[in-house]
Chain A
Amino acid sequence: MTSPWTAGHLPGLAEGEVGWQVLAFGAGAQKLEVRVPVLEPRQLRALARNVRAAARRELRTLSVSQVIRVIDAAVVRLLDPADPYRQEALRLLPTVSGYDAEMVRLGLDGYLQRFRAPQLHRFVAEDFTNPKVLDEFQPAIKGGAVRAFGPDLLLHSWAGNVPALPVWSLVCGLLVKAGTVGKLPSAEPVFASLFARLLAEVHPPLADCIAVVWWKGGDDASAAAVIAEADTVLAYGGNDAITQLRAQVPVTTRFIGYGHKLGLGLVARAALDTLRAPATARLAAHDVVRYEQQGCYSPHHFYVQEGGKVTPRDFAQYLAAELGNLQRRFPRRALALEESAAIAGWRQAAELQSLADAGVELLGAPDAAWSVAYSDAPQPLSPTGGGRSIFVSAVEALDEVVPLIAPHARFLQTIGMAAEPRELHRMADVLGEAGVTRICALGAMTSPEAGWHHDGRFNLLDLVRMVEVEASAERAADALAAYAQEPQP
């Protein structure tokens, strides 16, 4: 038995000073143990204070372009096949997440490319017309001057096992020069730990500006110790977990919560001729398979328009066939009993619907590693059991989808869409009104572009505090300057 892999990043604390808890991942030959740090609340408090002080000293003094260079250098290493950090990530993540190794590699590469320097500049430019406001006071258009300050201490509460997901918020924090304390998700404690260490190696002063910690969900004393030090709290997770955390955050501390979401796809008639339909189904299948539908952007339902050469039912068959193909290339990860039960429950419901009325049918054998349920009438939107289970239902017009999804506005995020331009833009208005925040191509659902507005928010603007020097202050100052001229009588 090898010793457990050590997660976390604790500047200023030696290994022996903190407790450790071992989390077990995988099974059989793929078994892996990861130990996560367990700190006393007082240690967490001291750590948070040190991080805040270091960030003021080392991070606040860098220009945003310098910060981007550091992140870029780290990301370049993670994209380099010879780099030990990358090798470590690719060795650990498949076991920790259970995802197919090849899927992890492809996913990680696609994902990390979004954090190269040009993309990061775009990311900043998306939120700040003049990115220099992050470095120094800049003239404001209305008069006076303005500067954006990031939080002194930003607490991230990460969740989920979509590999490397914490990088989004970590990078956001760095771009606004915030001291970072991140709480690892028990489901994937690896990548954020690696990334923090790599940043520290690329630019050593950063080592003290980031802490990556862990505490058991529901450990309010630990949460409270860090929350008390933070200016801003970013929380990811289910609404229950977010509610629980938010209840602990003082009203004077900024709180930003990203809850769980539900994705879906729309396929218009234009994509359903005999040439395009199989390709469209392939893209749709890709969105289903990538991260086993665990992402907030992952699809659970495709609404397919009638009247094309290829019927919605045929489309469902194509989709089933593509899922079958992808199973050979990227086998589904082993399911825990609870996951099997969730998928079985969903399959049973579809099966019973098919027993009760002729409109619903279930494609795929019970032991296939994917399931497609098809209905020839539009079905309400609801999460499937995940693990490559997807509902396809037929609609006459795409507009029929709107009343089906609008009641779930607070859970909407991504819609993957295959439609002609006029239909795309017409539907964008309607869907936006219904609560959707991101419309993308099929096949791109699981890879949002750099600078996207996660859940309709400004990733960076949400974090900063704008400081204004009003024109009146400038005028008043002028009047007090040594060079001021007395008003002429």
Chain B
Amino acid sequence: MNHVVVDNLLSFLAQDGCTDAEFDRVALHLFAEQHAANAAFHRFCAGRGVTPRTVKSWRDIPAVPITAFKEVTLSCVPAESAERVFMTSGTTRGDVKGRHYHPTMAVWDASMARHFAQRFMRGAERMRMAILFPSEQEMPNSSLAHYLAMATERFGTSDSLYALNLQGMDIEPLQRMLREAERTQQPCALLGASFSFVHLLDELARTGETFRLPPGSRILDTGGYKGHSRELPLEDFYAGLSATFGVPRELCINMYGMTELSTQLYDDGNAVVPSVKSGPHWLRSRLADPLTGREVPRGERGVLVHCDLANFNSVTTILTEDVGIAVDGGFQLLGRAEGAQAKGCSLAVQEFLQAART
């Protein structure tokens, strides 16, 4: 691991922002490093005729499709020397998991803490938190479990709790905590996977209990439903959260993150959906045609490409499967680019895979 790179990056993250030129300088430097040290990425670039010479800006860095994290080792250090490996949950192809190797957690943790403080805590030091996700011990390879553990350790009070384990939801301590918050008027935070919130909403709807959490209380959901719960339209989801917990939709914040990144993106609440998402100064996003990788004209739908400078060991620039549209201040997320539904009578990949699975 290159300590100079890590140290430089940590001070870059600690800056108050950066200019385009500064961003490009770090991006190109990391690109050259990764191009030289990462054999799979080197071949990938060669296939596209791209070398550090031809890359002039972060937009020129070839975006690696996230499926590549499943197929090849994307790491500048030997994989076995990594301090931590995060794995995808394998929702799209249950058998194969994508792996993201982190030689040190220093950068990931700094990225998380800095941006979380800005976008979720918004000046608050600590807050009582309830986590709707299994703990880091239960899911050691989950980047989300680590994220939520960090949130409670660095930003939660000591009486924060986990309301969920691998066995299921433990709703009573959670209900007690929410009632207590109502009584003491101490703001609290609920954080977890979107599908866990759907289960919680269903559960509370059954008992008919609702809460009026004190001002300043907030909610963070992430990750969509991934087949773990019923699909709830965004509008209904946030209306339900707001009605059940008494938290204004401006304080229902959605975090957009992925195993393949080292940085999370946020919106500024969900009063209007779809919300506008954006990253910190060390991450930039663009919308591309998935086939050519070229940027789509502004206002047109495209697939999201993120250049995350905190991804210093894998690849900075990834091509996601998420469809978005660029707007002022960031982008709106419009869902996943599911394979085209067959318009003709030729078998589509989706249907074929489905049949192959059954």
Interface residues of B in 313-350 (CB under 8 A from A): 321, 323, 337-349
Please list the residues of chain B having a beta carbon within 8 angstroms of any beta carbon in chain A.
40, 43-44, 47-48, 65, 67-68, 71-72, 289-294, 301-303, 321, 323, 337-349, 351-352, 355
Q: Are B44 and A238 in contact (CB under 8 A)?
A: no
A293 at the interface (CB under 8 A from B): yes
Q: Are B321 and A341 in contact (CB under 8 A)?
A: yes
Q: Which residues of B contact A292 (CB under 8 A)?
A: 344
Q: Are B345 and A160 in contact (CB under 8 A)?
A: yes
Q: Are B349 and A294 in contact (CB under 8 A)?
A: no
A182 at the interface (CB under 8 A from B): no
A397 at the interface (CB under 8 A from B): no
Q: Which residues of B contact A237 (CB under 8 A)?
A: 345
Q: Which residues of A contact B341 (CB under 8 A)?
A: 238, 338
Q: Which residues of A contact B43 (CB under 8 A)?
A: 355
Q: List 12 A-B contacts (CB under 8 A).
A: A161-B343, A260-B346, A300-B346, A337-B303, A338-B337, A341-B338, A343-B291, A344-B65, A355-B43, A356-B71, A382-B352, A383-B349
Taking a contact as CB atoms closer than 8 A, the residue among B72, B289, B345, B347 that contacts A340 in the complex is B289
Q: Which residues of A contact B67 (CB under 8 A)?
A: 345, 348-349, 352
Interface residues of A in 383-402 (CB under 8 A from B): 383-386
How many Å from the CB of B75 to the closest CB on chain A?
14
A362 at the interface (CB under 8 A from B): yes
Q: Are B346 and A296 in contact (CB under 8 A)?
A: yes
Beta-carbon nearest neighbor of A407 in chain B: B356
A452 at the interface (CB under 8 A from B): no
Nearest 4 pairs of A and B residues by beta carbon: A294-B344, A341-B337, A344-B290, A338-B340
Beta-carbon nearest neighbor of B323 in chain A: A337
How many Å from the CB of B158 to the closest CB on chain A?
46
In the assembly, what is the distance between CA of A292 and CA of B290, in Å?
Answer: 19
Q: Are A342 and B345 in contact (CB under 8 A)?
A: no
How many Å from the CB of A280 to the closest CB on chain B?
22
Q: Are A382 and B344 in contact (CB under 8 A)?
A: no
Q: Which residues of A contact B65 (CB under 8 A)?
A: 344-345, 348, 352
Beta-carbon nearest neighbor of B46 in chain A: A355
Q: Are A161 and B337 in contact (CB under 8 A)?
A: no
A258 at the interface (CB under 8 A from B): yes
Q: Are A411 and B355 in contact (CB under 8 A)?
A: yes
Q: Which residues of A contact B352 (CB under 8 A)?
A: 262, 382-383, 408, 411
Q: Which residues of A contact B343 (CB under 8 A)?
A: 160-161, 187, 294
In the assembly, what is the distance between CA of A259 and CA of B354, in Å?
Answer: 14
How many Å from the CB of B213 to the closest CB on chain A?
39
Taking a contact as CB atoms closer than 8 A, the residue among B71, B291, B348 that contacts A355 in the complex is B71
Interface residues of A in 204-220 (CB under 8 A from B): none
Q: Are A260 and B345 in contact (CB under 8 A)?
A: yes
Q: Are A352 and B72 in contact (CB under 8 A)?
A: yes
With A160-B343, A340-B291, A341-B338 known, 4 other A-B pairs at CB within 8 A are A345-B349, A355-B68, A367-B294, A383-B347
In the assembly, what is the distance between CA of A236 and CA of B323, in Å?
Answer: 30
Q: Are B44 and A346 in contact (CB under 8 A)?
A: no
How many Å from the CB of A132 to the closest CB on chain B?
34
